[in-house]
Structure 1
């Protein structure tokens, strides 16, 4: 137990929040390297760093705001998060609209797992997707507490292994910035947005849409606001460090992995066949850590967990997601993730408005309405 200012902070909860925060962000897109390629690497090193700065600052701000709302309202199911943030009418629309995007992203996780399974083992992609569906559904049925404990531990471990792999690639091959820039200017590379600034914004705002119910529910487990903010900052630092090394590694091998669906795995295999197998396991865990809270969030929006209806909802989501995973992984990443980010702009505007009211309340010594006041 630490004391920061006047607040007591549980180190274990900070680590859980940071770990779960990282785990949610490093799913199929990040750990495969495909998402990092489209949001960072394909812009070149200077713009990639700019994307990281924007994403880090905006991501920490929005994530902390969402978790604080959950902490204040004690919305353990995450059902009221949209109304708490965006008000009754906009919140109600988003509460039904966003789960659709969550489901589409879950489909991306399943497709990514299928691509990884095929690339490392040579087996059919549908078999890899089916394995993920079965394991994820089993964990989700155990409830939110089990989800947080599971992915909170795995998240930081994935970041560390990814960084070790990336550093190995950089040391072995070096980084030829001239070749990197030549490749992205002479090839038809996939970009998340025509503007690197917008790419940074979209990447951060993806969190508002996709993570809002889960992060709100996770924030309800924290003892106070300090635990939430400390956990988010710690998680953001870990994530940004992992992204930076992965970007440099991809840049060093851009001519080789530029058109591969799972570039990170290809780089690990180039270092060592054994490392390739190890990274395949890490990649599977990374996809798992995002797929689990996504399925939980969609099912929890439909019905209360640990009920028969919850089990039925999970099974239906699993079946539909499995068949949707037959679409090409890189195409899903390029279409769904930016689209989710644009929807996140709505949530960001409400966070800005809430913070303006908070600052004005500090100046005038008026308090914001509490969750109880809004009932």
Structure 2
């Protein structure tokens, strides 16, 4: 992994960057998993924040102990050989599917927000992700951690401006919660499902991040800051949507609708934020998939990255991103198995410390 060691802030920014993809910034994920519960979304988000800190820290520490160069070592250590292989297979396939979804999403934003060709948006996103991945692990980490502060400031800024101009109405929120029909009707289960799904996408970066951490303290603090950043960012989006829940929920991208309530310029600016968030997730997906197929820093790694990027671009044009919808159930199962394995690994680690 090299001599450079990563600080807690860099680890936290990279953790946040791998999770905050298009679904997060658009507000759609937060709407589906949290906002539908009305005021109960706040304890749900508190639980999700704790789980992000706990499981993120467990992955980082395992990555450090194993000096993991890819996520496979961590998944195997957490789940054992059999479950490890099953979870690994689902994660690997989903990483490619998610990459095609990111490429398709970039094309959609180019077309819908800026009036530019979809093909151009998808091509530029894949090209930017490929260039970053070819720079190696530290190039991936630095790129993601550089973009994340801008993303969080944008989310917090838009949400605070919305709350300042449109205060929360408890009566409207209560009516909304009674009429809403969340896919997962029990808010603790929704919080757990949200974390498990996102951890599946984050672990390809988190595992080698742990190996590159400056120490166990840096890994733990990185998980703490990263989990808090994710929780507070989701809370900001949740509160912004709750100011106008009935109107925002009609849109596929609720936060772009909210940005458009201020001005077309703000709406287009937020479109750029969405592209940046798609970029951080696409980079993590491409890097994670490529490291599963080829050893990092090897000549085969570069060739594999190029081939995967081209294949993802072509698949996004063929509508392959639609397959991701059918993978959600499988990824959910993999996510819960992964969380169970990580819990076992944590208890095993704690037992060793107490001896």
Asked if TM exceeds 0.5, the reply is yes
1:38 equivalent to 2:32? Answer yes
1:284-322 deviation digits (Å, cap 9, x = unpaired)? 111111110111000110012344432332233223333
1:354 equivalent to 2:331? Answer no
1:339 deviates by 4.4
Alignment of 1:1-375 (within 5 A): 13-46=7-40, 48-183=41-176, 185-186=178-179, 191-325=182-316, 327=319, 336-337=327-328, 339-363=330-354, 365=355
Change (3 A) 1:334 1:244: farther
Whether the aligned pair in 1 keeps the contact of 2:16 and 2:148 (CA below 8 Å) is yes
Bigger drift between 314-323 and 345-354 goes to: 314-323
1:169 deviates by 1.4
Q: Distance in 1 between matches of 2:266 and 2:82?
A: 51
Whether the aligned pair in 2 keeps the contact of 1:29 and 1:333 (CA below 8 Å) is no
Q: Which residue of 2 aligns with 1:5?
A: none
Whether the aligned pair in 2 keeps the contact of 1:160 and 1:242 (CA below 8 Å) is no
Whether the aligned pair in 1 keeps the contact of 2:256 and 2:271 (CA below 8 Å) is yes
- Higher RCO, 1 or 2 (CA under 8 Å, sep at least 6)? 2
1:252-311 deviation digits (Å, cap 9, x = unpaired)? 122322121222122112212222232222211111111101110001100123444323
Gaps of 5+ in 1: 1-9, 366-375
1:143 deviates by 0.8
Gaps of 5+ in 2: none
Whether the aligned pair in 2 keeps the contact of 1:71 and 1:222 (CA below 8 Å) is yes
Change (3 A) 1:322 1:42: farther
Q: Distance in 1 between matches of 2:168 and 2:323?
A: 29
1:70-105 deviation digits (Å, cap 9, x = unpaired)? 111111344422222222332233333311112222
Q: Distance in 2 between matches of 1:114 and 1:37?
A: 23
Whether the aligned pair in 1 keeps the contact of 2:64 and 2:210 (CA below 8 Å) is yes
For the aligned residue pairs, the C-alpha RMSD in angstroms reads: 2.4
SS at match of 1:119: helix
Q: Distance in 2 between matches of 1:158 and 1:288?
A: 11
Q: Distance in 2 between matches of 1:335 and 1:156?
A: 33
1:26 deviates by 0.7
Whether the aligned pair in 1 keeps the contact of 2:25 and 2:255 (CA below 8 Å) is yes
Q: Distance in 2 between matches of 1:333 and 1:171?
A: 37
